[in-house]
Amino acid sequence: MSCSTGGCGTSSDMGFDPNDAQALEIQEKINNHPCYSEGAHQHYARIHVAVAPACNIQCNYCNRKYDCSNESRPGVTSGKLTPEEAVKKVLYIGGEIQQLSVVGIAGPGDALANPKKTFDTFRMLQEKSPDLKLCLSTNGLRIVDYIDEIEKYNVDHVTVTINTIDPTGEIGSQIYPWVHWNHKKVWGAEGAKLLLEKQLEGIKALTDRGILVKANSVLIPGVNDKDLPNVAKKLKEMNVFLHNIMPLLSSPEFGTKFGLDGVPSATDQEQMAAQEACGMDMKLMKHCRQCRADAVGLIGEDRGDEFGKEAFVSLSFEELEKKYNIKARAQKHEAIENWRTQLEAANERIKLETATKLELSSTGETKLVAITTAGEGMINMHFGSAQEFLVYEAGDKAIKFVMHRKLESSYCSGPENCNGTNPIEEIKVTLKDCDLLLTEKIGDCPMSELQSINLIADESYANMPVEKSVFEAVKTHFYTSKKEHELG
Ligand code: CLF
Ligand code: SF4
């Protein structure tokens, strides 16, 4: 099976030519970046340092009391750090979590509206933790002003949030009431046009210098959904590497303009439709979890609460560099790469990044498969503990990753927090369009509840590689009458 459709995964699903020097260079840059490489995200961790409190625009899906919603779930607040505290935190956590591969600045405001704090942090990190990739997220207004610093500090990955390319500013004016420029606020369509102009100039400046650009777009149904395919086309033309379509998360308690006006969140189905409409033009990131501005750990887990300031601020840089232990980290990364090679062989490259239903299935009909995982590319989490599901679309020819779906509460909250109830209704709504669930273990009760929505739960792929299991299970349950569960 060929995987030449490209994508943001491992070398095999990138489909790159090993003799192509530029493709190799890109592969090296993304290989252990958990956001730019889907294949890396179950193995490598990221940390965000919340050094950038100010912002220079207003988005209607953001309440400035909280983190920047261009890269975070709204309604969460991160503890702010000085650049020195931020670097101490990175060294401390880099020693504790050796899979840490990337440091990002993603708020709580805009990284480039706080240039001194952002670049002081990157300068120190470049000296003290040279094995980490540096990443920043911005609304794009000031990229051109800081392009030299971005390049100078080897910030190889920049995310720009771009929600519309409507040249009239009409769509933009529904998203951005104002943009701060030259010491004054520029309102409405004029502000939106200015922001778009600066974003496009900024993206060009970045790609001209070989910096990998990811674009985030917040899907706001009824506002920019129709324009997103145009955004995707434009991004592709501009050599943007990856497009991440994030669902609008909206609720009155977030205190955002959209939330207070009753604009609803984007649904999973609207998100899937937007991905379908944009994915033919651009490589899509589908594994984003809308992290907080002080997120720590693998994407999808947040270990930030484990590392309060008291753990690291009083330690000297000398002590922290010892704890960071760059040599031990290199050994850990080597072990991860060995594991990934084995996993890739076991999965037999049956995953495509973009594919039509006919490319996935000989009948043109596909199935949606949800799985539970604790990471490392395996089906290794009990149904009861799962706080999210990964959803794949699969046929008898190949599979593709579609999205993750988060739960407010897991089925089982553990002996300490158990209140005697098992919230199954949210899970039934979350998985209502899925055909099959693969999980490490599931009880009879939830299994029969899931049967009531025609969802088959199967635990016979426990501790098996995810991709191969999804492919085999779909063939077994829907394409053949005979059980063939043997995995290589
Ligand atoms: Fe952070 Fe963003 Fe860099 Fe990743 S997150 S600055 S590119 S290191 Fe990643 Fe988090 Fe999604 Fe962002 S999952 S919100 S895309
Ligand atoms: Fe909020 Fe980020 Fe928009 Fe600024 S750029 S208003 S912090 S979402």
CATH number for the domain that contains residue 401: 3.30.420.130
Alpha carbon nearest to ligand 2 atom 6, residue: 58
* CB 129 within 8 Å of CB 323: no
Is pLDDT above 60 for 486? no
Confirm or reject: Cβ of 55 under 6 Å from ligand 2: yes
Q: What is the pLDDT of residues 200-235, one digit of tens each?
A: 999 999 999 999 999 999 999 999 999 999 999 999
Tally of structural domains, the chain: 2
Is pLDDT above 70 for 419? no
Please report the pLDDT score of residue 28 as a whole number.
87
Q: What is the largest CA-CA distance in the chain?
A: 70
As a whole-number percent, the residues of the chain with pLDDT over 70 amount to 93
Alpha carbon nearest to ligand 2 atom 1, residue: 68
Q: Answer yes or no: do 241 and 388 share one domain.
A: no
Confirm or reject: Cβ of 290 under 6 Å from ligand 1: yes
Cα–Cα distance measured from residue 90 to residue 433, given in angstroms and rounded to the nearest whole number = 41
Cα–Cα distance measured from residue 161 to residue 169, given in angstroms and rounded to the nearest whole number = 16
Confirm or reject: Cβ of 71 under 6 Å from ligand 1: yes
- Strands 296-298 vs 45-48: parallel, antiparallel or unpaired: antiparallel
Is pLDDT above 60 for 1? no
Closest ligand by atom to 157 CA = 1
- Has residue 205 been placed in a domain? yes
Residue 354 token pair: 């973009």
Final residue in a domain of this structure, among 287, 311, 335 = 311
- Has residue 305 been placed in a domain? yes
Q: Answer yes or no: do 431 and 482 share one domain.
A: yes
Q: What is the pLDDT of residues 234-263, one digit of tens each?
A: 999 999 999 999 999 998 988 899 999 999
Q: Answer yes or no: do 284 and 431 share one domain.
A: no
Final residue in a domain of this structure, among 311, 342, 362 = 311
CATH number, domain of 42, equals 3.20.20.70
Domain enclosing residue 452, as ranges: 350-487
Please report the pLDDT score of residue 8 as a whole number.
32
Confirm or reject: Cβ of 212 under 6 Å from ligand 2: no
Q: Answer yes or no: do 370 and 435 share one domain.
A: yes
Cα–Cα distance measured from residue 40 to residue 133, given in angstroms and rounded to the nearest whole number = 13
Write the DSSP string, 222-275.
TTTTTTHHHHHHHHHHTT--EEEEEEP---GGGT-HHHHTTPPPPPHHHHHHHH
Q: Answer yes or no: do 145 and 239 share one domain.
A: yes
Q: Where are the alpha helices (DSSP H) in 31-140?
A: 83-96, 115-128
